[in-house]
Amino acid sequence: MALELYLDLLSQPCRSVYIFAKKNNIPFEFKKVTLMHGDQYGDEFQKISLIKKVPALRDGDFCLAESIAILLYLADKFKTPDFWYPADLQQRARINEYLSWQHTAIRVHGSKMFWLRVLIPKGLGMEVPQDKLDAALEELNNSLKLIEEKFLQDRPFIAGDQISLADLVAIVEIMQPVGSGLDVFDGRPKLNAWRDRVRAAIGTELFDEVHQTVLGAKDNMKLMDTKTMAILKPKAKLFI
Ligand SMILES: N[C@@H](CCC(=O)N[C@@H](CS)C(=O)NCC(=O)O)C(=O)O
C-alpha cells in the first residue's frame, strides 16, 4: 500500500509536508481533507488521526500526526539529502531551535492575520475590530523581526548555506499572511532575498503551484454555507 498523506494545501503545515515529499520524489497518495467542509471531524479521518488536524500520514498500519514529526519520519525513512536535516550537531540544533520556536510565534501570528483579514470578514461575514487587527499586526511584525535578526542574521538560510527543514517550515507560515493580501516582504529586503532563495531551492514551479490556493484565497473567498459557518464560528471567536 502506498504511503498516504492527508492534506489540505490551504494549511501551512500541509504545504511543508507536500513540498518535502514532492521535492524528494517520495511516492505518496494525496488524500484530500477539505477543512472548510469539516472533513477533519469525519469518522473516516478520525481513524487516521484523533487529533483531527492535518497533515496526517499513514504508512501501512502506522499513522502519524504533526507536520514536524511527519517531516522527520519522511527524512529518515527515505534518507533524504543531508542538508534538509544535517547530521552535524550544531546545524541540526539550529534547525531544532527554529522548529521549536515557530509553533507559538510566527505560526500563531501568521494564521491569525489570515483569519482576521480573510476567513472572518469574507467567509463568515463578521466584522473585525480595528484594534484586533492592529494588535495582530504588531505581533506578526515582532515574529518577522525575530526571523530576520535572530534566525537568519547574515546567513543565506536559517542553518547556513543550504535550505533545510527550518526554511521550509518558515516559508509556508510566512506565506499565510501574504495570502491575506499583506505583503510582509515589502520593506524587508533581507526577508525578501531569503524568500527568493527558498523559492529557487524548492523550485519556482512547485513553490507557486503549492501556494496557489492560499494566494487566491482573499479574492476567491465567498460567504460560507451554514454548515461551514457552524464549524468555523467558534474558532473565529477566539480571535475577535
Ligand atoms: N501542530 C500541528 C498543527 C496542525 C494544524 O493546526 N492543522 C490545522 C490546519 S493548518 C487543522 O487541521 N485545523 C483543523 C481544525 O482545527 O479543525 C502541525 O504542525 O501539524
User: For 45-66, how does the pLDDT look when each residue is reduced to its tens digit (9 = 90+)?
Assistant: 999 999 999 999 999 999 999 9
CA nearest 132: which of 19, 11, 240?
240
- Domain final residue, candidates 80, 104, 139: 80
Q: Going by CA atoms, what residue is nearest to atom 1 of ligand 1? A: 66
- Domain final residue, candidates 35, 62, 80: 80
Domain coverage including residue 115:
85-236
- Ligand 1 atom with the smallest distance to the CA of 35 is 14
Same domain, yes or no: 131 and 190: yes
Within 10 A of 209 (CB to CB), how many other CB atoms are there?
14
Q: What is the CATH number of the domain that holds 75?
A: 3.40.30.10
Q: Going by CA atoms, what residue is nearest to atom 6 of ligand 1? A: 53
Looking at the 3D structure of the chain, how many domains does it have? 2
Same domain, yes or no: 161 and 194: yes
Residue 148 Cβ < 6 Å to ligand 1: no
Distance CA 225, CA 58 (A): 31
Same domain, yes or no: 111 and 75: no
In this predicted model, what pLDDT tens digit does every residue of 92-137 receive, in sequence order? Answer: 999 999 999 999 999 999 999 999 999 999 999 999 999 999 999 9
Residue 66 Cβ < 6 Å to ligand 1: yes
Same domain, yes or no: 25 and 96: no
Residue 91 Cβ < 6 Å to ligand 1: no
In this predicted model, what pLDDT tens digit does every residue of 194-233 receive, in sequence order? Answer: 999 999 999 999 999 999 999 999 999 999 999 999 989 9
User: DSSP secondary structure string, 136-183?
Assistant: HHHHHHHHHHHIIIIIITTSSBTTBSS--HHHHHHHHHHHHHHHTT--
Residue 26 Cβ < 6 Å to ligand 1: no
Calculate how far, in angstroms, residue 53's C-alpha sits from the geometric centre of ligand 1: 4
The pLDDT of residue 145: 98
Give the cell for residue 187.
Answer: 520593506
Question: Does the structure show a pLDDT above 90 at 1?
Answer: no
Q: What is the CATH number of the domain that holds 106?
A: 1.20.1050.10
Same domain, yes or no: 96 and 175: yes
End-to-end CA distance of the chain, in Å?
A: 44
pTM of the model: 0.97
Mean pLDDT (the chain) is 97
Q: What percent of the chain has pLDDT over 70?
A: 100
Answer whether 163's CB lies under 8 Å from 83's CB: yes
Same domain, yes or no: 187 and 224: yes
